[in-house]
């Protein structure tokens, strides 16, 4: 029998039971929409996260104390002297800038308003290393550092919370953990990140932070940020830093007591985490597709029972098993394929809605519906229809003609 005619006949049969067909399809529609939306949202989230990490700067390196593979070794902490040694252009020609940092958290107050925030104790080079721009004012200077000045730069989130504005604030005095600080600048917004807002921060001179806000041993720092002269020179910069620190920490022979991460390490880590997240979401969506398939099987079984007499008649006038099998499989695949198409459209709409909702919430996040997901959903939903149609179609094909004809 001709393929188009078979499809046409299946269509007519489904059409003659419109309401039932639509309700049956619903299971597949929801399943496919879930798959499409989940993959789109997962991909969008992944892109956003990776972009944010890349946005930190592609030639950035981070040095932490300790060795994540071996926690038993004795660790000598990173110090300002380490940072200065790395900053030596002769010992580390591929390192452009070094920014030692101590970090913690605290509460910042201004006339009754308070905000919990991240506090970074930094040096002037931090601005260039992290690409901070200022709305107004100036960054922390050498003099501020040397004089342990009680000055602070605040992020826009902090400014909005305390003052309800993010301009004309230079010169105001706020208190951090009870100590007065004078505002010398406002940081331009960097947008939200997966590690919390990057705008809910305050920057103070590293020396001030150590002596007034956080207790640290003399000279100790938490992280050393450094910028290689280019993205390509990250490996050279890494080995130069390793050499310097091994010498200074006398770990030439044993294990390193520090760890260097590059931008790339974070990218790799983040994409493997987001991949797991995507697979997890798709798995849940896949289960709903399975449930949709069982719905199709159920309705096809009802349909076979209802049409027993018709099957008997078709056999009486010469239909072979194969003909009946194809007839019912075509119906079930058509049913689920249409569900798949509707599901793709619905999934697309859901993704777009999530995207625009995220935008209104100030999160730069665009779900990505890609062709691969659409193809996968179409093929998979049709396959679900075929698979779950096999049992009912087989049942129909194996009916005895006389028995079937006698059926009422």
Partner 1 sequence: MDKTVIKIKDITKIYKLGDIEVPALCGVTFKVKKGEVISIMGPSGSGKSTLMNIIGCLDRLTSGEYILDNEDVSNLDDDQLAQIRNQKVGFVFQNFNLLSRSTALANVELPLRYAGITENRIEMAQKALESVGLGDRIHHKPPELSGGQQQRVAIARALINNPAIILADEPTGNLDSRSGDEIMELLLGLNKDYGTTLIIVTHDPKIAARTARTIQIFDGLIKESKS
- Write out the residues near partner 1 by the rule CB under 8 A: 1-2, 5, 12-13, 16, 309-310, 313-323, 401-402, 405
List CB contacts of 117: < 8 A, sequence separation 6 or more.
Answer: 105, 106, 107, 108, 155, 157, 158, 200, 201, 202
Listed residue (123, 130, 122, 274) closest to 199, CA to CA: 130
- Least distance from partner 1 to the Cβ atom of residue 316, Å: 6
Complex with partner 1: residue 329 or 350, whichever CB lies closer = 329
d(CA 102, CA 219): 10
Complex with partner 1: residue 290 or 405, whichever CB lies closer = 405
Complex with partner 1: residue 243 or 403, whichever CB lies closer = 403
- Least distance from partner 1 to the Cβ atom of residue 334, Å: 16
Complex with partner 1: residue 4 or 371, whichever CB lies closer = 4
Both tokens of residue 1? 């029998």
- Least distance from partner 1 to the Cβ atom of residue 5, Å: 7
- Least distance from partner 1 to the Cβ atom of residue 400, Å: 8
d(CA 305, CA 315): 15
According to DSSP H, which parts of 67-176 are helical? 80-86, 126-129, 142-146, 156-163
Contact between residue 229 and residue 128 where contact means Cβ atoms under 8 Å apart: no
Strands 179-187, 151-154: pairing is parallel
Complex with partner 1: residue 247 or 320, whichever CB lies closer = 320
Give exposure, 156-183, as e/b (b: 16+ Cβ within 10 Å). bbbbbbbbeebeebbebebebeeeebeb
Complex with partner 1: residue 136 or 323, whichever CB lies closer = 323
- Least distance from partner 1 to the Cβ atom of residue 394, Å: 13
Contact between residue 333 and residue 19 where contact means Cβ atoms under 8 Å apart: no
- Least distance from partner 1 to the Cβ atom of residue 396, Å: 13
Complex with partner 1: residue 247 or 322, whichever CB lies closer = 322
- Least distance from partner 1 to the Cβ atom of residue 15, Å: 9
List CB contacts of 268: < 8 A, sequence separation 6 or more.
Answer: none
């Amino acid at each position: 029998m001709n393929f188009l005619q078979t499809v046409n006949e299946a269509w007519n049969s489904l059409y003659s039971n419109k309401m039932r067909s639509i309700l049956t399809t619903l299971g597949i529609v929801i399943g496919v929409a879930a798959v499409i939306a989940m993959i789109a949202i997962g991909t969008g989230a992944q892109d956003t996260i990776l972009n944010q990490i890349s946005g930190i700067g592609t030639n950035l390196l981070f040095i932490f104390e300790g060795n994540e593979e071996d926690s038993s070794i004795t660790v000598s902490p990173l110090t300002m002297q380490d940072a200065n040694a790395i900053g030596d252009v002769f010992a580390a020609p591929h390192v452009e800038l070094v920014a030692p940092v101590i970090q913690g958290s605290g509460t910042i107050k201004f006339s009754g308003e308070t905000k919990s925030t991240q506090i970074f104790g930094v040096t002037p080079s931090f601005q260039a290393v992290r690409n901070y721009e200022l709305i107004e004012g100036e960054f922390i200077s050498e003099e501020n550092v040397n004089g342990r000045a009680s000055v602070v730069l605040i992020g826009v989130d902090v400014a909005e919370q305390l003052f309800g504005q993010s301009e004309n604030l230079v010169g105001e005095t706020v208190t951090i953990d009870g100590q007065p600080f004078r505002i010398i600048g406002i940081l331009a917004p960097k947008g939200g990140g997966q590690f919390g807002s990057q705008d809910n921060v305050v920057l103070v001179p590293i020396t001030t932070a150590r002596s007034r806000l956080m207790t640290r041993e003399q000279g100790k720092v938490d992280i050393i940020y450094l910028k290689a002269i280019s993205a390509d020179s990250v490996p050279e910069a890494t080995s130069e830093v390793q050499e310097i620190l091994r010498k200074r920490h006398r770990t030439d022979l044993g294990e390193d007591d520090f760890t260097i991460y590059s931008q790339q390490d974070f990218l790799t880590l983040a994409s493997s985490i987001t991949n797991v997240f995507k697979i997890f979401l798709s798995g849940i969506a896949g289960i709903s597709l399975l449930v949709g398939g069982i719905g199709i099987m159920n309705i096809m079984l009802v349909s076979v029972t209802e049409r027993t007499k018709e099957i008997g008649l078709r056999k009486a006038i010469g239909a072979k098993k194969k003909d009946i099998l194809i007839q019912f499989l075509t119906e079930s695949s058509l049913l689920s394929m249409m569900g798949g198409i509707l599901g793709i459209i619905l999934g697309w709409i859901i993704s777009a809605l999530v995207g625009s909702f995220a935008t209104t919430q100030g999160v730069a996040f665009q779900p990505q519906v890609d062709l691969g997901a659409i193809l996968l959903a179409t093929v998979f939903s049709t396959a679900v229809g075929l698979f779950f149609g096999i049992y009912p179609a087989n049942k129909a094909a194996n009916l005895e003609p006389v028995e079937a004809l006698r059926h009422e």
